[in-house]
Amino acid sequence: MKAIKVPLKEAEKVKSLLIKQGLLCRVCPPIKDSKYIYFAINGRVPGFTQVEKRFNKIVSSDSLFLKGLTKKEYSLLPTSYDLIGDIMILDLPEELSKKSKFIAETYIKILKGIKVVADKVGIHHGVFRTQDLKILSGEKRKITTHIENGLRMKLNVETCYFSPRLSTDRIDVASQIKKPEQVLVMFSGVAPYPLVISKYSKAKEIIGIEINPEAHKFAEENIKLNKLKNIKVYQGDVRKVLPKLKMNFDRILMPLPRSAELFLDLALEYIKPNGIIHLYGFSDDLQLAESYVRAIKNLDNNAKILKIRKCGQFAPRKFRIRVDFSP
């Protein structure tokens, strides 16, 4: 399909322009690589490099509009969504609430493999950072098995925090482990990071700690499901569990959806000399990641910042970032 090639830093500006001009194919989610984003288009867009790309196309470009949406409603359709296993998770604006069932039924009819379409209700909340969901169409369930990097991950999409958008980041971290390491994953959830690290690295042992008891149950099940032997997971508050293990680690991951920096003191206490810590957070831009760097330096002025990396888009102009450093 026809697409334009846009540098990542210009993505939001160009997307807004395409929407205003009615040229964005809203039912073909954009594709990204390390430098560019590719938007599917419905016509000619002067001033941009045009290429041919294969998109995961949901519907023909006008079918939703022709079957039941006004032009204005069509323009409000989200251009992104999450696919977790066979569950599609939308974030529909209030203006589309009366058409939500129609939209969901259309997605199920046209997108092969989708058995449930749900809509976000509110925002992530509580200690477990979970997301309330309303099923709009399909089977009445919220448990699915997600396939990522050749691994099966079973979870309840409402009661367990999980982001499919971090799949590339998980592989990136695993690829850095070139020798036997003892790895700690704080806030390990249903164990996506431990699973990928176990399968794709030379890690000697991976320890996961998760406070959410239901996510922990799925983590145990996922380890067995994938027949991995070098992962151990513990349920409880990381500040209470970690001291009982009496272990230090070569690498510590901190993929908490919010406030991971509040646990930096704990990570610094249990990292080995010359070890590596991966701190996750949210930022409008990599420049604003300086707040995380300051938090690190306040606790360890000698810490060496190795890399600051975008590892997924959380919302318009909001990015997940990862700060890699060595104390």
Q: How many domains does the chain have?
A: 3
Of residues 204 and 291, more confidence is placed in 204
Answer whether residue 287 shows pLDDT above 70.
no
Cα angle 203, 207, 213 (rounded to 5 degrees) comes to 145
128 lies in the same domain as 170: no
What pLDDT, on a 0 to 100 scale, did the predictor assign at position 20? 65
Domain identity same for 94 and 28? no
Distance CA 104, CA 85 (A): 16
Confidence class of residue 65 from pLDDT cuts 50, 70 and 90?
low
Query: Any idea what the CATH number is for the domain that residue 127 is in?
Result: 3.30.300.110
- Whether residues 173 and 322 share a domain: the answer is yes
Residue predicted with more confidence, 65 or 67? 67
Gap between the Cα atoms of 100 and 88, Å rounded: 13
The yes-or-no verdict on residue 184 having pLDDT over 90 is yes
Report pLDDT for 61. 46
Residues spanned by the domain of 22: 1-57
| Between 66 and 146, residue with greater pLDDT | 146
319 and 175, same structural domain?
Answer: yes
Asked if residue 214 belongs to a domain, the reply is yes
Q: Over the stretch 299-318, which tens digit does the pLDDT of each residue have?
A: 999 999 999 998 876 666 67
Indicate if the pLDDT at residue 111 is higher than 90: no
pLDDT for 58: 56
pLDDT at 122: 79
Question: Which tens digits make up the pLDDT trace of 220-265?
Answer: 999 999 999 999 999 999 999 999 999 999 999 999 867 899 999 9
User: Is the CB of residue 168 less than 8 Å from the CB of residue 181?
Assistant: no
Whether residues 191 and 283 fall in one domain: yes
Boundary (domain end) residue, out of 12, 41, 57: 57
Specify whether 45 is located in the same domain as 109. Answer: no
More confident residue, 281 or 251: 251
Record the pTM. Answer: 0.81
Q: What pLDDT band is residue 53 in, cutting at 50, 70 and 90? A: confident
Boundary residue ending a domain (57, 83, 99): 57
pLDDT at position 13? 82
The answer on 233 and 175 residing in a single domain is yes
Instruction: State the pLDDT confidence band at 192, using cuts at 50, 70 and 90.
Output: very high
Q: What is d(CA 146, CA 170) in angstroms, rounded to the nearest whole number?
A: 15
What separation in angstroms does the CA of 214 have from each of 106, 152, 160, 170, 217?
Answer: 32, 17, 7, 22, 5
The pLDDT assigned to 216 comes to: 98
Q: Enter the DSSP assignment of 27.
A: T
Contacts of 183 (CB under 8 A, 6+ apart): 177, 194, 197, 203, 205, 206, 207, 249, 250, 251, 252, 253
- The closest of 322, 278, 327, 270 to 299, measured between CA atoms, is 327
